[in-house]
Amino acid sequence: MLPAAWPWPRVLAHRCGGALAPENTLAGLPVAVAAGCRGVEFDVMLSADGVPVLIHDETLERTSNGRGAVADTPYAALRGLDAGSWFAARFAGERIPTLAEAAERCTALGLAVNLEIKPSSGREAQTGEVAAGLASRLWSAAVLPPLLSSFSETALDAARRRAPELPRGLLVEGVPADFAARCARLGAVALHVADAGLQRAQVDAVRAAGLHLAVYTVNEPPRAAELLAWGVDCVITDRPDLIRVS
């Protein structure tokens, strides 16, 4: 039997606003809402001084005007960077937000959250523990908790130990043969799988194992409809303006 029905929205905007806003910024959240999305996914990493911030890459160059590694940069320095101009001039001055800021804004906008724990190399356990502990406090009064996910099993295990009450999902590229055992060890309720190459038989196997299934990154409406018809619980998309579920 599957666990309780999937409580999160069936469509989540990838990295806050998908392709419609600079990724992992507060600016993306109202963009997702305007597109009709009721939930978002974003990445959390630690600054040099241990502050959980929203960013995907271990380095700053791609999505900000900063340089160097996130893990080597104190939060005060991260706060001064421009994380919006690279995307479009109208987002100039957009900042790298903290997890606390993102949680507050998501709560105000009524957005559900898939929080991906994205540790810098060598900080897997620390990132899992800190992110989960803070998420537990930030969403302590929420009816719907955030779904924690990660490619790092070390980070997920640390999250499990720090905040066992928060649900977890194991991120993988393809469905591994031992997915059920790995999810069981981590107490994960879901498997998050890349869309590329995913077949219906694999979807059936995951569901038969008693797990939920989220698929990333799905940007074509016909494919999203097919996956949901197969029994996938959730699609994560860069195009929340195109992928809709009634």
Catalytic residue among 9, 10, 13, 14: 14
Tokens coding 221: 């409406």
The 3-state DSSP class for residue 84 equals coil
Total residues found in the chain within this entry? 246
Task: Please state, in angstroms and rounded to a whole number, the distance separating the CA atoms of residues 219 and 60.
Answer: 26
Using left for φ > 0, alpha for ψ between -120 and 50, and beta otherwise, residue 110 falls in left
Tokens coding 223: 């494919």
Task: Please state, in angstroms and rounded to a whole number, the distance separating the CA atoms of residues 181 and 222.
Answer: 32
Is residue 192 part of the annotated active site? The answer reads no
Catalytic residue among 48, 56, 58, 217: 56
Task: Please state, in angstroms and rounded to a whole number, the distance separating the CA atoms of residues 82 and 78.
Answer: 9
**Which amino acid would we find at residue 150?**
S
Is residue 212 part of the annotated active site? The answer reads no
Residues labelled as active-site residues: 14, 56
